[in-house]
């Protein structure tokens, strides 16, 4: 059976034995016939609370958070849809777009131009959030389970705060969108480190599709409430990154409805775990580096047998990144188990620890093999991974070794659809 994996910008095709194969992919949802009208309709009918135009007045300052360049948010549609509502009331120079980088690197000028387009850049100011610049942050006390809340100063001081994003299952926060566009998106490093500590990340509810009772998401909501948005605007996307539907209004009510919809669209039950799981990382822009590819591994880990094999196809054109420490952290111990032990005994949280913890836990449970055009065999070996140039051959060899009853699952869109055993 011929399968096409989302990989980079061009995709990757392979042939796998149909008689032993289960393919789990997103239920096809065509993009809205008129995406801008879909956005306008959502803004016209908020899930809860007033419409955005009812929140603004002449002279008020507006801060709008947007996803950074690793996310496929349709910013060039969502931001104009909001600005339409502000025309004639708020001047463009009173609007700032805050790139919610969290602890990611700043987006370059060229990346921002690609994300937003020249017309928007000429209209409004765009600022990269910097979690490490204490002067750009405001301390708002402790919230939730002992979370020190440092938030972007421009966000806190704005008269009207608006989040924009998209909702999909998230590998330890449950779902993206909503409060994540405040914390960790606009949070200080100290806040992010606490939200991502070993206890929270290691909790069984810190996983795909769970928000309530998930200690990560519970405290994300609590921290975001310290500088809560006055209005939130999220979309659901299909595999072509086209808008399926949109939701707007008061953040918590809006996000709950959007998560329910995303759960129906993007999570599918399977009867039993598999011996081999082949996954992608949803292609570009999410598969730009190994740090992000942990999401694809994590999606596969939900349905792989203990001791099984995960094959993850991620282009990794940007290499390892993360935030500067990811590669060194992975290479700092002789095995995934040793990494987990070191994290559990560490006196404090350091950047990238959470991603290392998730990856090491997956590797401690299953063999993980990568297919990437940009990382060498030696580089992968350094972080306890192996490379395959031929996914089909690797799968065939694994199935032969595992026996005639061994089964393979393919997640062509990676974390765009989360399979679960139930």
Q: pLDDT digit string (tens) for 57-68?
A: 999 999 999 999
232-251 pLDDT per residue, tens: 999 999 878 899 999 999 99
Would the pLDDT of 43 be above 90?
Answer: yes
Q: What is the DSSP pairing of strand 418-421 with strand 267-270?
A: parallel
The domain limits of the chain are 2-26+271-421, 35-265
79-111 pLDDT per residue, tens: 999 999 999 999 999 999 999 999 888 999 999
Tokens linked to 290: 């190994």
Question: What share of residues in the chain are helix, strand, coil (percent, to 5)?
Answer: 35, 25, 40
Q: Confidence band (pLDDT; 50, 70, 90) for 25? A: confident
Q: Catalytic annotation on 29? A: no
pLDDT at 186: 98
246-294 pLDDT per residue, tens: 999 999 999 999 999 999 988 999 999 999 999 999 999 889 999 999 9
Superfamily of domain 2-26+271-421: LarA, C-terminal domain (3.90.226.30)
Catalytic residue among 28, 29, 93, 104: 104
pLDDT at 157: 98
CA-to-CA dists, residue 288 to 9, 60, 99, 369, 380, angstroms? 10, 38, 18, 17, 15
Architecture of the domain made up of 35-265? 3-Layer(aba) Sandwich (3.40)
9-19 pLDDT per residue, tens: 999 999 999 99
Q: Between the ranges 71-75, 257-261, 414-418, where is the mean pLDDT highest?
A: 257-261
Q: Confidence band (pLDDT; 50, 70, 90) for 35? A: very high
Would the pLDDT of 351 be above 90?
Answer: no
Mean pLDDT across the chain: 95
Would the pLDDT of 26 be above 90?
Answer: no
**Whole-model pTM?**
0.89
Per-residue burial over 164-196, b = 16 or more CB atoms within 10 Å of its CB, e = otherwise: bbbbbbbbbbbbbbbbbbbbbbbbbbbbbbbbb
Catalytic residue among 129, 170, 196, 217: 170
More confident call, 362 vs 103: 362
Q: Catalytic annotation on 104? A: yes
Instruction: Please say whether the beta carbons of 308 and 370 come within 8 A.
Output: no
Would the pLDDT of 385 be above 90?
Answer: yes
Strand partners, 309: 276, 367
Would the pLDDT of 77 be above 80?
Answer: yes
């Amino acid at each position: 059976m011929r399968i096409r994996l989302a990989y980079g910008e061009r995709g990757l095709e392979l042939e796998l034995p149909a008689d032993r194969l289960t393919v789990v992919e997103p239920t096809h949802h065509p993009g809205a016939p008129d995406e801008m009208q879909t956005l306008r309709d959502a803004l016209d009918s908020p899930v809860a609370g007033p419409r955005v135009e009812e929140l603004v007045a002449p002279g008020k300052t507006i801060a709008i958070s947007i996803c950074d360049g690793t996310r496929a948010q349709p910013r060039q549609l969502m931001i104009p849809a909001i600005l339409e509502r502000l025309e004639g009331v708020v001047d463009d120079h009173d609007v700032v777009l805050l790139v919610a980088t969290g602890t990611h690197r700043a987006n370059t000028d060229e990346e921002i131009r690609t994300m937003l387009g020249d017309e928007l850049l000429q209209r409004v100011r765009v600022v990269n959030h910097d979690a490490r610049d204490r002067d750009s942050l405001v301390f708002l006390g402790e919230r939730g389970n002992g979370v020190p809340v440092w938030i972007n100063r421009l966000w806190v001081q704005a008269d009207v705060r608006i989040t924009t994003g998209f909702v999909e299952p998230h590998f330890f926060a449950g779902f993206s969108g909503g409060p994540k566009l405040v914390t960790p998106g606009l949070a200080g490093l100290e806040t992010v480190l606490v939200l991502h500590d070993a206890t929270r990340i290691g909790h069984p509810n810190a996983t795909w599709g769970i928000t309530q009772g998930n200690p990560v998401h519970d405290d994300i909501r609590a921290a975001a409430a310290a500088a809560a948005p006055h209005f939130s605007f999220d979309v659901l996307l299909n595999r072509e990154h086209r808008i399926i539907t949109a939701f707007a209004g008061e953040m918590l009510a809006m996000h709950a409805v959007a998560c329910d919809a995303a759960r129906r669209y993007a999570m599918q039950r399977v009867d039993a775990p598999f011996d081999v799981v082949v996954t992608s990382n949803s292609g570009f822009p999410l598969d730009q580096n190994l740090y992000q590819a942990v999401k694809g591994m994590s999606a596969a880990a939900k349905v792989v047998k203990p001791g099984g094999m995960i094959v993850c196809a991620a282009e990794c054109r940007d290499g390892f990144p993360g935030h500067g420490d990811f590669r060194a952290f992975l290479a700092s111990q002789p095995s995934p188990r040793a990494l987990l032990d070191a994290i559990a005994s560490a006196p404090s949280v350091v950047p990238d620890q959470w991603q290392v913890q998730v990856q090491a836990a997956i590797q401690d449970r299953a063999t993980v093999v990568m297919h990437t055009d940009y990382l060498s065999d030696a580089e992968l070996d350094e972080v306890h991974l192996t490379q395959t140039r031929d996914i089909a051959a690797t799968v065939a060899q694994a199935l032969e070794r595992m026996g005639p009853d061994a089964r393979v699952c393919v997640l062509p869109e990676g974390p765009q659809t989360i399979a679960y055993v139930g």
